[in-house]
A and B are shown apart, each in its own frame.
Chain A
Amino acid sequence: MNTHVPLEHVMLLAAALFAIGLAGLLARRNLIFMLVSVEVMLNAAGLVFIAAGAYWGQVDGQSMFIFILTMAAAEVAVGLAIILQFHWRHHHLDADAAATMKG
């Protein structure tokens, strides 16, 4: 069965996801939620790759998404480690209160 979703719809969905992620990143002060928002943005980008790969019938889109998944896993690992360290030092997760390294 080949339900044909138009490319524009996928693109709009991806843009909406990206905007939601960005809004979350900017609006949230908790580091965990900021990390989650970054993940949402990453998946928006991944969705664009998948849709574009399906549209042109190429495997490149899917392989790029595999890369993005791996990179996201690595990012989460590092990000969570940093957040743990952060919490251990500051006993909270407020990103704005941690502006001690300003120029």
Chain B
Amino acid sequence: MYELLWLVPALPFAGFLVIAAGGRRLPAAAAGWTGCAAVGIPAALSLVFAAGFLFAPPEGHAHTQVLWTWIGTETLRAEAALRLDALSLTMTAVITVVGFLIHIYSTEYMRGDADFRRFFAYLNLFVAAMLVLVLADNLVLLLLGWEGVGLCSFLLIGFWYGKRENAMAARKAFLVTRTGDVALLLAIFLLVRETGTANIADILARAPEVFAEGSATANAAALLLLGGAIGKSAQLPLQVWLPDAMAGPTPVSALIHAATMVTAGVYLIARTHGVFLLAPDVMFVVALVGAATLLLGALAALAQSDIKRVLAYSTVSQLGYMFLALGAGAWSAAMFHFMTHAFFKALLFLGAGAVITALHHEQNLHRMGGLRKKLPLVFWTFLIGTACLAAVPLVTSGFYSKEKILWDVWISPYGGPGFWIAGATGAFLTALYCTRMVALVFFGEAKTEVSERPGGRVSFVLVVLAVWSLIGGGVELPHTFAHVKVFSGFLAHTVTTVVELPPGLDWLLWLLLGIASVLVFGGIAVGWALYRGGEPPPILRRAGVDAARRGAHGGFGFDTAYDLLFVRPFTALARANRADIVDRAAAGTAYSARLLHNILSATQSGRLRWYSATIAAGVILILAIALLT
């Protein structure tokens, strides 16, 4: 059955080709259903594979399918080969299943858009690129998917390119992620040079022989990989593109945040974790980046007025949790949080999309309100999504995954209580901004009339995602609750287990769970107290608080700083060099040729006597030379 693996990335790509080639000849509905089927069939396949891995795992808990030799030189060998193991299977399943739901949602959400077909063509290409990325068996193929994802994010963020802001946001996303891609490219060069292979499994196997632990090369390789990961996953200091990426249609935001794109960085680090284990200093950096990002993202989310930007910053923050877990060596915790996050973040974005459509494309939180009665289904599903995001204890999947991260970070040799405190503070802030968002959107007085109610397909997708967001955490429970370790047990065959459970610390786990729960409820209580009326509280108008709010609203000045540091010098340089100094070399050749031409053409005076005089002079000269030498 694993022979069908190639279909998983091939079908979405075929869907892209069919819709793109079909163009206007293809009816819009047919394009929509082609797009859905092209992701739906791989989703079904990946679930079958998952069942196979759970109940009758293949030999070595991995299956490699070599399709053809892509690059076959003496120094570099890259096969177009797909590798299915627990890690890539988890990613594949989440990408295809969540992607499929988003496709279904889009058939309703994008209905009537003039570029409906183009939208589905891009969506399919996006999913195909992401699947190539996660299933790639070597780094070169991974890079192909990686860049494909970057391209599709550019195309989809700038989908409504008629508006200048959208086009600028697309360009920004492309350029910022490209900065990280350069680091990834260098990392690949370094790893291929040092280990002599591009195959990921071989690199991980050879890395301990080639690199000494903590050596400069190992650190450089891990740092460069981290550079690539923070670009794609919108971590500090390259997080600036993600909030602007909200310019795209809402299903695109859901796809970027839940299934594709931003999780690529998390996947990359988990995939190459063997390199990171040889560079403990870089592990610390990863955790530090994650902790800083999760706090910063949460603070920024607290001050946003656009519902989609709140969600964007919450993604930045949640990805910070995943990076924190990766930095602590808690690979399975990071992947677990990736999975639950994919469900509830897709749910939140799709719910936000339903709200925005219902309110005539109004995205400002302060002009919403009172939607609890008018859109009950959206309200309840959105509430479930925010509860998961805020990690409300026991009933939500977000609680289990976030607590697993926090607990693993505490006990990990790479983590420690300091990182736990950062994570727990982030949990409090998350609960606070979640409550603020729900209160502003669904409570208080209605400020904008509801024009349209979500149809059947949107409601179906929301309900399915809400159910999964609630029960998805059941595959992995804290060991003091019950012995359910399906997820980490599943991944243990692929990733090296670093975080060992120390004996006799059950009381500590109970204590930490208790503190985190208190913080979550505290956050909700504070948020509810402040925003209960669906209005911003008066405390925000105080001068100091207002300045802080403005700072957080602008994303803490990163954009301004980058504008001053990079954009302006670059444009100034470009303007100064408008005549292009490099071009002068080519222009100089033309200039000297013309000069010579002028000199020579001056001798062609047309005067017969001048010509004869020159001939005579020439003869005399030749005779003189012949006679006198």
CB within 8 Å of B: which residues of A?
Answer: 22, 25-26, 29, 34, 95-96, 98-103
Contact = CB atoms under 8 A, between A and B. Distances in A.
Nearest to A23: B616
A96 B607 contact: yes
B609 A102 contact: no
A100 B606 contact: yes
A95 B605 contact: no
Q: List 8 tightest A-B contacts by C-beta distance, closest first.
A: A103-B604, A102-B606, A99-B606, A103-B601, A95-B608, A101-B606, A99-B607, A102-B605
A90 to B, nearest CB: 13
A29 B607 CA distance: 10
Max chain A C-beta neighbours (<10 A), residue from B601, B607, B613:
B607
A22 B620 CA distance: 12
A102 B612 contact: no
A34 B608 contact: yes
A100 B612 CA distance: 17
Contacts of A103: 600-606
Interface residues of B, number: 13
A78 to B, nearest CB: 15
B506 to A, nearest CB: 101
B605 A99 contact: yes
B604 A102 contact: yes
A95 B601 contact: no
Given A95-B607, A99-B606, A100-B606, A25 B601 contact: no
Interface in B505-535: none
Given A100-B606, A102-B604, 4 more contacts: A22-B612, A34-B608, A95-B608, A102-B605
Contacts of B603: 103
A99 B604 CA distance: 10
B597 to A, nearest CB: 9
Give the most central of A100, A101, A103: most B CB within 10 Å.
A103
Contacts of B605: 99, 102-103
A39 B608 CA distance: 16
B57 to A, nearest CB: 86
A66 B496 CA distance: 107
Contacts of A26: 609, 612-613, 616
A34 B402 CA distance: 108
Contact of B609 (A25, A100, A101): A25
A52 B94 CA distance: 108
Contacts of B613: 26
A96 B609 contact: yes
A31 to B, nearest CB: 8
A95 B610 CA distance: 10
Contacts of B607: 95-96, 99, 102
Interface string B259-292: 0000000000000000000000000000000000
Nearest to A25: B612
Nearest to A28: B609
Interface in B585-616: 600-609, 612-613, 616
B627 to A, nearest CB: 14
A98 B605 CA distance: 10
Contacts of B612: 22, 25-26
Given A102-B604, A103-B601, A95 B616 contact: no
B600 to A, nearest CB: 8
